[in-house]
Amino acid sequence: MQTNNRRPIVAGNWKMNGNLALIKQVEKLFSNADISHVDVVVCPPFPYLGGFNDSNFALGGQNISHFESGAHTGETAVSMLKEMNCQYVILGHSERRADNNESNELVADKVELALAHKLIPLFCIGEPEDIRESGQLFDFIGAQIDAVINKVGIAAFNDIVIAYEPIWAIGTGKTASPEQAQEVHAFIRQHLAKQDSNIANQCVILYGGSVKGSNAVELFSQPDVDGGLIGGASLNPEDFLSICLAAKR
C-alpha cells in the first residue's frame, strides 16, 4: 500500500434499502472488528438514522435540502442530520443529479450549507459512459469540482471528501480498472493543486462503483485512491467489513 498522511475512509451508501434487522447485524459484526485504521461511515435511509446505538463507525445522511427549514414537504434539513448525530452527508450523488435534476450549482449550494453546519460533505462526482467515450471526461469532472470551488473556495476542501463514481459503474457490475480509477483520481488531485497543492495532497478522494471485497485491495492500493463509497456491497455486513479491512495504508 502507498503511504501518506491521508486517513482512509470507507462509507456505505444504503440508498433506499435496509431495515432494522440489518442495523443490528452491522452493529454486532463491527462491534468486534478492529477498524482502527480506517474511518467507517454508514449512510442509511433517513428513517433508520435513529435506529443505531453507540457504534465504532460514524453516521451520514444521503442528502440535505438546500433550504435551512420551512414548508418543503419531504425534504430533510441539515440541522436534523446534526441532531441525529450525523457527521457526514452524501451530496451530488449521480442518482440525485439524474432523478432530481440537481445541477452542479445546486450541489455547490448544499456543500456550502453542510460546511456551515460542520457536516463533512461526501461530494460525489462522476461521468456517464458517453462522456467518457467522447473524450470529455476531464472537462466534465473539472466542471463539477469548479462549481464547488467557486462557491466555497479551495480552502474548504480541507473539510470535504470527494467521491469519484463513474456513473457507468454504479450498480452495473462494471468496475473501473485500478488504472482507470487512479487516472481520474490523479486528475482530481492535480485539478485541486492548480489552486493549492497542499490542500490537494491532503484531500481524501474515494472511489465508488461496484466495489467488492474481491477488488477492494487492488483499487485501494492505487496512490490517489483513499477508500471507497460503497453501494450494494454495504448491504452485506461481511462484504462491507472485508472492504473496510482492505483500506489499510
72 is catalytic: no
153 is in an annotated binding site: no
DSSP annotation of 149 reads H
Q: What angle do CA 34, 186, 213 make, to 5 degrees?
A: 35
Which residue in the list 66, 93, 95, 127 is annotated as catalytic?
Answer: 93
Which residue in the list 27, 102, 127, 165 is annotated as catalytic?
Answer: 165
- Cβ–Cβ under 8 Å, residues 86 and 121: no
C-alpha 242 chain-centroid distance: 18
Rg of the chain taking only CA atoms, in angstroms = 17
Per-residue DSSP letters for 134-146?
Answer: TT-HHHHHHHHHH
61 is in an annotated binding site: no
Per-residue DSSP letters for 185-199?
Answer: HHHHHHHHHTT-HHH
103 is in an annotated binding site: no
68 is catalytic: no
For residue 59, what are the β-bridge partners? 42, 86
110 is in an annotated binding site: no
168 is in an annotated binding site: no
| Maximum Cα–Cα distance across the chain | 49
210 is in an annotated binding site: yes
DSSP annotation of 228 reads E
Give, in order, the Cα–Cα distances in Å from 184 to each of 73, 75, 189, 236. Answer: 38, 33, 9, 28
For residue 161, what are the β-bridge partners? 122
56 is in an annotated binding site: no
Just list the catalytic residues. Answer: 93, 165
In the annotated binding site for substrate, the residues are 13-15, 171, 210, 231-232
